[in-house]
Homo-oligomer: A and B are copies of this chain.
Amino acid sequence: MSDLRSEIKREIESGEYNCEKELTLSIISGKWKIIIIYYLGTEGVLRFSEINRLLPKISHKVLTTQIRELEEDGVVHRKVFAEVPSKVEYSLTTLGESLIPIVLMMDEWGKKNIKHFPVAKNR
């Protein structure tokens, strides 16, 4: 098993998880998820292309799956407009908003402690 989501999800569904922290971890662990949650939390509502612009390095398909999983987990709300060209807006659900404090703490912790880790100086 490589990443955490699928495996922990399986454990949770079978009732064999080790502790509830795992649930939280399974939701936020994904290459881009905390950043997406963060942006939706601070910007409010974002279109697919807007998120993509905020995260230039993410590929199309990966952004789709990351958002889909967040949606499945009830963290993100997806609103489709019946227009051409298509328009889709994403926002946090109440559940998603309740994750913001955790994301902010992780942000603060990272900013405070990144100096302990090897980083290229050119930043």
What residues of B have a CB within 8 angstroms of the CB of A22 in the complex?
34-35, 110
Count of this chain's copies in the oligomeric assembly: 2
What residues of B have a CB within 8 angstroms of the CB of A107 in the complex?
19-21, 24
Contacting pair B98 A15 (CB below 8 A): no
Interface flags for A96-113 (1: CB within 8 Å of B; 0: not) read: 001101110111011101
In the assembled complex, A95 has its CB within 8 A of some CB on chain B: yes
Q: A74-B116, A119-B15 are in contact. Are A110 and B29 (CB under 8 A)?
A: no
Chain B nearest CB from A17 CB (Å) reads: 8
Contacting pair A20 B111 (CB below 8 A): yes
Separation of A120 and B14 alpha carbons in the complex (Å) = 5
In the assembled complex, A86 has its CB within 8 A of some CB on chain B: no
Contacting pair A106 B31 (CB below 8 A): no
Give residues in A with beta carbon < 8 Å to B.
Answer: 1-4, 7-8, 12-16, 18-25, 28-32, 34-35, 38, 55, 57, 73-74, 95, 98-99, 101-103, 105-107, 109-111, 113-114, 116-123
Closest 10 CB pairs of A and B: A15-B120, A20-B110, A2-B2, A24-B106, A23-B110, A24-B110, A29-B29, A21-B107, A20-B111, A21-B106
